Structure 1
Amino acid sequence: MATQRENDAADYLKKHKIIELMDNLTSMLFFYRPENPREFLIEQLEQLKISQQSGMRGPNLFNNANLNAVFGILDPANQKYITFAQYKQALTTLGIKDINECPEGVNEDRISHETFKTEAMQGLQRCSATAVVLNAQQQRAWPGSDMAASLYRASSTFSGCGEGKGPYCTFNKAQTFSSVTRHCTTSLLNQSLDPLPMRGPELGVQADDIEAPETELEPKHEVLENKDVVVQRVHIDGLGRTKEDLLTYEIAGVFQAKNLIDVMRKSHEARQKLLRLGIFRKVEVVIDTSRGENALPNGLDVTFEVTELRRMTGSYNTMVGNNEGSMVLGLKLPNVLGRAEKLTFQFSYGTKETSYGLSFFKPQPGHFERNISLNIYKVTGQFPWSSLRETDRGISAELSFPVWKTSQTLKWEGVWRELGCLARTASFAVREESGHSLKSSLSHAMVIDTRNSSILPRKGGLLKIHQELAGYTGGDASFLKEDFEIQLNKTLFWDSVLSASLWGGLLLPIGDRPTSIADRFYLGGPTSIRGFSMYSMGPQSEGMAGDYLGGEGYWAGGLHLYTPLPFRPGKGGFGDLFRTHFFLNAGNLCNLNYGEGPQAHLRKLAECIRWSYGLGIVLRLGNIARLELNYCIPMGVQSGDRICDGVQFGAGIRFL
């Protein structure tokens, strides 16, 4: 039990932050390595005293070059934003304790570069006044690595790998990639730091933004030196069922690094690629100096410590579709054959649709964007606007690959479709199309998406083009179907966003067979032409039932203005999830006589345009979905259209 004298001494050390002061001074010595340590320490103490008296920035190991370099390392994609978790952990790693928990952009989980820089600047200034700049573990230098290695350790995930931890594979630069050895490792590094996420911010203050006292010392050495280094070996520690040849493509870029900063950047890129495979629960990075007989003076060893996912994982969650919700249960077998393959079974029960399916996914080694997937499924859906129930049993095969800035998908699908009446009051037109049919189709999709968010974007655009050809590979259905989607977003003054979108499509029957009710387009509702009921506009059956039968051609356009809530309630917190919404929608849906030519089609689509306008409130549910509560005023209503004049609620992931 501690004596009273020992307790008093501990309180004294804590009150005056003596331990932190010693850690800070020791870190300065290790980093700068001055020729006269005593004089250097005196200068640091004098500078600290001035900073405490004046409130200005005190001694700090981070300068502008450090912060820019770290930001580049943690943001290899140059996205200019980070998540809140990255923001918080980065400031904690810097030694900042009183962190602002509600910075600008926290509700969108996108902390901008400027916001982070401001918060870090203020935090470092407060810390420097109490000599708590960095803790001792973060500043302890590695042999031959200087400050850059310390910065890397502050921006990556590390852990010691003790004896008996498991096998790892070693990739030696002097060997070919196919020469892979497996053996056990002892301790590579005795340090352990809390992990930071992949994408990171620029850490710290800008020297030009704070007026420094005249007596402040100039840096005596370049903090981040671009020393030439050679990556001699790359280790993958913790592999079990994963095949080593899969990983050679993902870590190959590390061997091309020429300096320490480059090693850190390429190690982060390799870590991203490993996590993207979906077979590892955790990937940690350790950089150390090379050891052994063939070690070079400037040689480095890079170790990726991985933790594989379990052989079988389960999940349950809820999904929000276009004005419908569902519960989803899933069972996954990741990395089932050792090369990032995935076997998935999924069951979904929703308000309008129930489905289950089995899928197999396999990427091309070294090119994850190029992949194939095979699917077997059964889907049963209810469509009350058409008094229709549809059950699809099918198989499909997809090939996905990138071309320039586009994402391309080729797909073959074979479906056994069963159409039936949802109610006894179903119209004769719906009953006439009831029964069984087979559809075999080839389709192609191209997507260019530069938006910063798919749910409520602030900038960027989207172009999506889809074509489907049915009948040439068998089946009862024969048609050519084309549709597209365009969206543009622009940030304006006062944090407002202007968004414009355009949809369109044509369905061309091939031969004498008419198109099916299951293949036609539908329009209307809170996710498309607001102010109209869900899919309740356009051609419909005769009689009392008035079932909507869909159309063979359509277009829809929307102009939206999103602004913050008036007077900004809850700014910097929950209130930022809401946006005020002003909209103008227009569109048309009809059947076409394809013998009349394209000009006749355009004239028909331009006749009797439905349109609406209004305002409302939008709530963003993370990056999952969004909710809208609008007051709508429908205009251009045609005979048979069902409207929703007044308040209308919508939920979904795809809105006009």
Structure 2
Amino acid sequence: MSYLFRKAFLMSLLFAGFSFGQVIQRVEISGAKYVPDEVIRALIKAREGITYTPDLVREDIRRLYRTGFFDKIEVREEREGDKVILYYNVVDLPIIYKIEFTGNRKIKSEDLERKIGIETEVGKIDIEELTKGYTSSPAIEEKVEIQRRLKLGRVLSREEMEYIKRKIIEAYAKEGYPNVVVSYQLVPKKGASKLVYQIVEGSPEYVSSIVFKGNKTFRSGRLLDQMETKPPSLLAFRLHPPFSEEVLKDDIRRLEDFYRSEGFLDAKISYNITKKDSKYTVEIDIYEGKRYKLDELKIEGNTLFSYNELVGKILKKNKGGYYREQVINDLIENIKKQYSSIGFLNVSVSKDEKVDSEGKKVNVVLKINEGEPVYVDRIQIRGNYETRDYVIRREMRLQEGELADEKEIERSRTRIFNLGYYEDVSIQPLPSEGKRWDFEVNVRERFTGQFSVGLGYNQVTKVAGFVSLRKGNFLGTGDIAGISVSYGSRYKDNSVSYTKKWFLNRPMDLTGSLYDRRIDYTTYTVSRTGIDLILSRELAEYWRVSGGFSLQKVRYSNISPNASPVVQQEAGTRQSRKLILGITRDTRDNYLFPTKGALTDLNYSVAVPVLGGTEKFNKVVLSHQMFMKDNIFDTGLILSLKGVVGVVEPYGGKTVPLDERFFVGGDFTIRGYKYGYAGPLDPNTNDPIGGNRELILSAELNYPIYKNILYGAVFYDTGLAANSWKDFKPQNFRGGYGVGIRFITPFAPIKLDWAFKTKKVPGDTSRSKLHFVLGVFF
């Protein structure tokens, strides 16, 4: 051992012995403005009465710095014999009550807040509201944890301040501002501080064009769909698309993943950029390589289903027999769906792929672990802050103690959603080791209490303003109460209504309504004042029957001298007393915008001469709608077909009232025609007078253009209203075809159709017509 080493060793022993011989007499804390002294004492290990060591103090300093709450930490010691007094002097960071952005012209402050995911004012982020109605998942928990850490009203660490700075830079880079400079400063206030981020945006950079080279299999548009970087486009209102090389790198990775998922396992993609002024030309070079085939698919471990049952038609849709990752994933999902339909929710499927690089083939083996059937133990309801549990439970087709059938789970979800009280409904199993699992129903309630002021429009009523107070899910019982006042230049509808759901604790709905309505047609006005009482009952899972009565006073006024004689004979007031019966079968998956299922309605009403009634007629209307989504090519197209047939006949020597006849033509029957002009017309005035028969056939194809908000449509309607079945000859039918859009807004759905008629008629000689409906589609 060298002399120097022995000397250092002896000195360290002496120092250690001296240190360990001293006891901490007192710990003093000073300098903290925002962090309480007791919090600091809880963080440090130095305590009165314990042995002092330098390592103890060094560890305390590191621990305090790691909290991020302190800008500066100093520790001073005083010795009195074998006693040590420690003085911890800190400069703590202030509590932040607000975050502001300055210099941000391109991105508004509220957009920055949304992009970054931070709270800029105390209490602005509601964690409970953020997570309401969602089941736990790692992604959601991570998001919530970040938002918890960035809630204000507390100290922000330097690390968190830098995190916000990085997120601002990332947000600007995605908007085409890669040279943005961000700094921040604390602006002291009494008791708390404001954190201000100063942003120097710099010059924007844009994409001038994107050129693909080497893409032989997929067109450029298909590849652009995989990318966030986009070229300029007038049709997409994208005049100056932003350029970010970091985003482009992510796009290249997405393109590589896309090619590999389509069987191009050897694909390689690179890019080259050239800059002129502030605009970039992006050249993407693609080496596709040879496409791999799906050589063999084996399924092992299946004892309850055959190979063909598990594969179904999925492989037949696999054009060319290539290896496609989506096809394999669809097969796995189909296997799980089949097993879940008989209660085997814990089935698992593992995938074993063997790649033959020389033969350009892939062999896939799907190994099934069937597990055992699962039964429902408990059903828990979450997120129903307003709704009472029984309102949800009575719609459930999944019951405690029963087999957990996937079809019943999905049907339960549909029934709960179709109540109209929830933005989202999910039913999730809570797996356990045994055969009995709990299930959790999570709902996200919508605002069912609505005070609405707005406008509605259709071809008959024209523009009408309305004030409506409607309370769905009244007092959390599921009942619906409402009062509305609607006025327009040609329309009035004032009503009070109440629907008692599950009347007498049975699957029955009792609806009562009082109303006063008026519609001004071209040559006359019809007013109705009355009361309706309807009781409907669920007969089976998809079937419902209804019955009730309607008492009305009907008045025809403001009849033009030029009106048809059919209209003029209606002048005056009459009393209407009707019995109403109906039966409905509804298998639609969504009542707002169905993608599959059907709706069938058979309605019968008879006017009877009781309680002062003056009308005598029978009226029957049968309608059927079908909705089908493209599951073959997965284009997202939705085909809807509709057929309506109706008959009304008088009895007892009476005639059919004008407003009970069928007026075909217009927004909701045959588009391209004015209201009623696809039916009988008065030969003298060319005014529609309605028919005693109607037949309408419609086909419409909808395609989602943007999420579930904007849809494009093409359609064809045909049919006729007439007074005799003999008139329903092909040469007499009226038809309309055209294109349209469907826009689902938070306020009301908007439907716009441009329709062309197949046959001009007297009084309606235009070639085409624009149909605009605000407030309702059907």
Amino acid corresponding to residue 556 of structure 1 in structure 2: I
Q: Is contact 1:335-1:342 (8 Å) kept?
A: yes
Matches within 5 A, 1:48-63: none
| Alignment equivalent of 2:401, drawn from 239, 256, 264 | 256
Residue 644 of structure 1 pairs with residue 766 of structure 2: yes
- Measure the CA separation in 1 of the matches of 2:383 and 2:353: 44
> Which residue does the alignment assign to 1:546?
686
Residue 531 of structure 1 pairs with residue 663 of structure 2: no
> Which residue does the alignment assign to 2:614?
476
Q: Is contact 1:554-1:605 (8 Å) kept?
A: no
Q: Is contact 2:497-2:513 (8 Å) kept?
A: yes
Instruction: Give the CA deviation at 1:531.
Output: 2.8
Q: 1:406 to 1:427 in 2, by over 3 A?
A: same
Secondary structure of the residue aligned to 1:577 is strand
| Alignment equivalent of 1:361, drawn from 496, 499, 504 | 499
- Measure the CA separation in 2 of the matches of 1:229 and 1:456: 31
Amino acid corresponding to residue 712 of structure 2 in structure 1: F
Secondary structure of the residue aligned to 1:603 is helix
Q: C-alpha offsets along residues 595-636 of structure 1, whole Å, 9 cap, x if unaligned?
A: xxxxxx43222275133354x43212228645233251422x
Q: Is contact 1:230-1:300 (8 Å) kept?
A: yes
> Which residue does the alignment assign to 2:140?
93
> Which residue does the alignment assign to 1:372?
510
Residue 604 of structure 1 pairs with residue 731 of structure 2: no
Q: C-alpha offsets along residues 26-65 of structure 1, whole Å, 9 cap, x if unaligned?
A: xxxxxxxxxxxxxxxxxxxxxxxxxxxxxxxxxxxxxxxx
Matches within 5 A, 1:170-569: 208=351, 256=401, 314-316=451-453, 318-319=455-456, 324=462, 326-332=464-470, 340-350=478-488, 352-364=490-502, 369-384=507-522, 387-404=523-540, 405-421=542-558, 423=560, 425-452=562-589, 457-474=594-611, 475-491=613-629, 495=635, 496-543=637-684, 545-560=685-700, 562=701
- Measure the CA separation in 2 of the matches of 1:460 and 1:276: 14
> Which residue does the alignment assign to 2:266?
none
- Measure the CA separation in 1 of the matches of 2:442 and 2:708: 38
Secondary structure of the residue aligned to 1:649 is strand
- Measure the CA separation in 1 of the matches of 2:726 and 2:442: 64
- Measure the CA separation in 2 of the matches of 1:301 and 1:625: 38
- Measure the CA separation in 1 of the matches of 2:650 and 2:67: 86
Structure number with the bigger relative contact order (C-alpha 8 A, sep ≥ 6) is 1
Q: C-alpha offsets along residues 358-384 of structure 1, whole Å, 9 cap, x if unaligned?
A: 112212269675110111111111222
Rg larger in structure: 2
Instruction: Give the CA deviation at 1:517.
Output: 1.0
Amino acid corresponding to residue 579 of structure 2 in structure 1: L
Instruction: Give the CA deviation at 1:461.
Output: 3.1
Q: Is contact 1:358-1:377 (8 Å) kept?
A: yes
- Measure the CA separation in 1 of the matches of 2:376 and 2:616: 63
| Alignment equivalent of 2:720, drawn from 588, 598, 607 | 588
The count of residues paired between Structure 1 and Structure 2 equals 451
Secondary structure of the residue aligned to 2:569 is helix
Amino acid corresponding to residue 577 of structure 1 in structure 2: Y
Amino acid corresponding to residue 628 of structure 1 in structure 2: L
Instruction: Give the CA deviation at 1:396.
Output: 0.8
Q: 1:389 to 1:489 in 2, by over 3 A?
A: same
Instruction: Give the CA deviation at 1:280.
Output: 10
Instruction: Give the CA deviation at 1:519.
Output: 1.1
Instruction: Give the CA deviation at 1:238.
Output: 10
- Measure the CA separation in 2 of the matches of 1:264 and 1:532: 46
Q: 1:512 to 1:574 in 2, by over 3 A?
A: closer
> Which residue does the alignment assign to 1:181?
none
- Measure the CA separation in 2 of the matches of 1:527 and 1:235: 40
- Measure the CA separation in 2 of the matches of 1:526 and 1:310: 30
| Alignment equivalent of 1:577, drawn from 711, 722, 725 | 711
Q: Is contact 2:468-2:483 (8 Å) kept?
A: yes
- Measure the CA separation in 1 of the matches of 2:549 and 2:136: 46
- Measure the CA separation in 2 of the matches of 1:521 and 1:316: 32
Q: Is contact 2:546-2:583 (8 Å) kept?
A: yes
Q: Is contact 2:375-2:436 (8 Å) kept?
A: no
Q: 1:621 to 1:249 in 2, by over 3 A?
A: closer
Q: Is contact 1:343-1:361 (8 Å) kept?
A: yes
- Measure the CA separation in 2 of the matches of 1:559 and 1:304: 37
Secondary structure of the residue aligned to 2:608 is strand
Report the more deviating stretch, 527-536 or 313-322: 313-322
Instruction: Give the CA deviation at 1:247.
Output: 8.8
Q: 1:248 to 1:350 in 2, by over 3 A?
A: same
Q: Is contact 2:133-2:444 (8 Å) kept?
A: no
Larger strand percent? 2
Amino acid corresponding to residue 351 of structure 2 in structure 1: D
Instruction: Give the CA deviation at 1:547.
Output: 2.7
- Measure the CA separation in 1 of the matches of 2:729 and 2:641: 19
- Measure the CA separation in 2 of the matches of 1:487 and 1:270: 22
- Measure the CA separation in 1 of the matches of 2:66 and 2:546: 69
Q: C-alpha offsets along residues 234-264 of structure 1, whole Å, 9 cap, x if unaligned?
A: 8999999x99998996799765379xxx699
Q: Is contact 2:508-2:535 (8 Å) kept?
A: yes
- Measure the CA separation in 1 of the matches of 2:502 and 2:767: 52
Instruction: Give the CA deviation at 1:588.
Output: 2.2
Q: Is contact 2:133-2:443 (8 Å) kept?
A: no
- Measure the CA separation in 2 of the matches of 1:578 and 1:490: 16
- Measure the CA separation in 2 of the matches of 1:266 and 1:633: 45
Q: C-alpha offsets along residues 442-469 of structure 1, whole Å, 9 cap, x if unaligned?
A: 1122222334456765543332221111
- Measure the CA separation in 1 of the matches of 2:587 and 2:408: 24
- Measure the CA separation in 1 of the matches of 2:609 and 2:408: 48
Percent of aligned positions with the same letter in both sequences? 16
> Which residue does the alignment assign to 1:621?
743
Q: C-alpha offsets along residues 197-256 of structure 1, whole Å, 9 cap, x if unaligned?
A: xxxxx9xx98539999xxxxxxxxx9999899966x98999999x999989967997653
- Measure the CA separation in 2 of the matches of 1:554 and 1:603: 12
Q: 1:574 to 1:440 in 2, by over 3 A?
A: closer
Q: Is contact 1:527-1:650 (8 Å) kept?
A: no
- Measure the CA separation in 2 of the matches of 1:573 and 1:364: 35
Amino acid corresponding to residue 735 of structure 2 in structure 1: S
- Measure the CA separation in 1 of the matches of 2:494 and 2:588: 31
Instruction: Give the CA deviation at 1:325.
Output: 5.2
CA RMSD across the alignment: 6.0
Q: Is contact 1:457-1:489 (8 Å) kept?
A: yes
Q: Is contact 1:322-1:527 (8 Å) kept?
A: no
